Amino acid sequence: MPQPTLEEIRHSASHILAQAVLQVFPDAKLGIGPVIDEGFYYDFGLSRPLSPDDLANIESRMQQILKEAQDFRAYTLPRAAATLFFQEREQPYKLELIEDLNVPEYSFYENGPFIDLCRGPHVQNTTEIPAIKLMRVSGAYWRGDEKRPMLQRIYGTAFHSQSELDDYLLRLEEAQKRDHRILGKALDLFSFQDDIGPGLVLWHPKGAMIRSIIEDHWRKEHYKAGYDLLYSPHVGRATLWETSGHLSFYRENMFAEMLVDDQSYFVKPMNCPFHIKVYESQHHSYRDLPLRYAELGTVYRYERSGVLHGLMRVRGFTQDDAHIICTPDQVSAEILEVLSLCSNILDAFGFHKKHVYLSTRPKEKYVGNLDLWRSAESALEDAIKTMGWDYSLDDGGGAFYGPKIDIKIEDAIGRLWQCSTIQFDFNLPERFDMTYVGSDGQKHRPIVIHRALFGSLERFFGILIEHYEGKFPVWLAPVQIKLLNLSTETMDYTKALANVLRQAGIRVATDLSDEKLGYKIRMATTEKVPFIGVIGKKESADNMVSVRTRGSSDSQIIAADLLIKHILDAAQQG
């Protein structure tokens, strides 16, 4: 008998969770219980908030259910019988699902005394779930709608073995230490404030410094790669979004309409239409192409409050957006150049392990002819192979408007993060009637390739914080060295040295307070600065500084004029 998949184990575990909750709270109202990336959850309507003791009790009951060797059995019921089943059990959320699905027959799964509306898949028997753990409880609006009842969501996870579960819990403990929301506050990098609104980031000076370094590196590499940089407005007339199609298929994710001079405007959720309008501002021939437009463009999208998560999911963010406009015979070379640029930039920030996914034409709804799709898919696949990368094929997983490559980066503790996307778009060139004059003197439709390498600066910054645990490499650190004076007698020398370092392009801070040296060192250590420089009477008299490197308790005495080279060399090394 083949080993059940992780999805089957976790999906079955969610049913066992619901069964255990009904044993503890017979009047619980059942929501939904899907599998998620690292486990599963189930939503419940309960008469009171769950406590940690409740969670322990529920998990204990789940362990007992596992030992009962309950079989999972699938069957179907017609609509009337399915409705009656949940009416008799007073399960309003299940009745709503029955109503919304609106099919002649409904799939159910039964294990022991528990029966749930479900398509599967499941294990054959509860004994096939060797390792299970409940993680936490949170609030969740029914179906993600703030106007609907607030339910209690119990998160859990399950694995093929106890050792895999133990390894996961260790990784989770490590991840909690790296949580960018906690480190962001501790290191004074950014904040969210109620007066401004949820999902809208305030970049503090140190966070803004790192952002500036990221942007400067991004711009430098893009200029070298032959991109032209653009700036576009934050709002556009409704007619623009009607042409692009956003008002018809993306309206619910856009911020509210504004009326200016009796004209409707919307805050931009994407930069694409503006880049296309720049292209359309002039006539182009095949000799002008390819054009590579790039922008660090801030966009705004309405995300439900329940899914907002620090920098990883926000409502206002800056995309490192680019659009390549080219002829069909330029596509292969352009894709390869994009992948090379992407690899170089991600490597520079310490992400050397990349997981690549190729998504092809959907089986049903799509725009563009088959030859166009096949050519684009071939160009993407050939470029990946030329780079020498392994990849996974998501057959039929492309967007309706074009195939794509997604690149996930692996961080220091093995987690994968979606960052880069290279996406063909066969839709917008048609909507905006984009053309160029070919060598035959006729008008032709150009190829448009969307491309983002970081995805968004906010999310990428959050990933960086967690990857480095706030211990940024010297070239990225907002403060590269912090100078600490031992007494007021060395204050002038400390200030003068700090100024010399600044003029040399080194990011320096000082602590000139009257606190004891031990306290100053502890504070600088918690700030995770790469270097701490201590200046006493002897260092001041000899034009020296006592330097301690991050992670070491040892110090070395360095001449002040050599300190600049010492730090700049370290920055060059990363």
Q: Output DSSP code: residue 550.
A: T
Active site residues: 272, 301, 319, 321, 323, 404, 450
CB atoms within 10 A of CB 542: 11
Which residues, including other chains, have CB under 8 Å from residue 478's CB and lie 6 or more apart?
A: 189, 205, 206, 207, 209, 210, 472, 507
- DSSP string covering 331-391: HHHHHHHHHHHHHHHHHHTT---EEEEEE---SS---S-HHHHHHHHHHHHHHHHHHT--E
Cα distance between residue 333 and residue 417, in whole Å:
27
- Cis check for the bond before 121: say yes or no (omega within 30 of 0): yes
Q: Give the orientation angle of helix 92-101 with respect to helix 79-88, to 10 degrees.
A: 170
Q: Contact, 419 vs 407, CB < 8 A?
A: yes
Name residue 484's beta-bridge partners.
511, 534
Kindly give, in sequence order, each residue whose CB lies less than 8 Å from that of residue 114, ignoring residues fewer than 6 positions away. 15, 16, 18, 19, 22
N residues, the chain: 574
Provide the angle, in degrees to the nearest 10, between the axes of the packed helices 205-224 and 331-348.
150
Amino acid at 479: V
Instruction: Say how far apart CA 455 and CA 296 lie, in whole Å.
Output: 10
CB burial class (10 A; 0-12, 13-18, 19+) of residue 531? buried
Rounded Cα distance, 329 and 223, in Å: 23
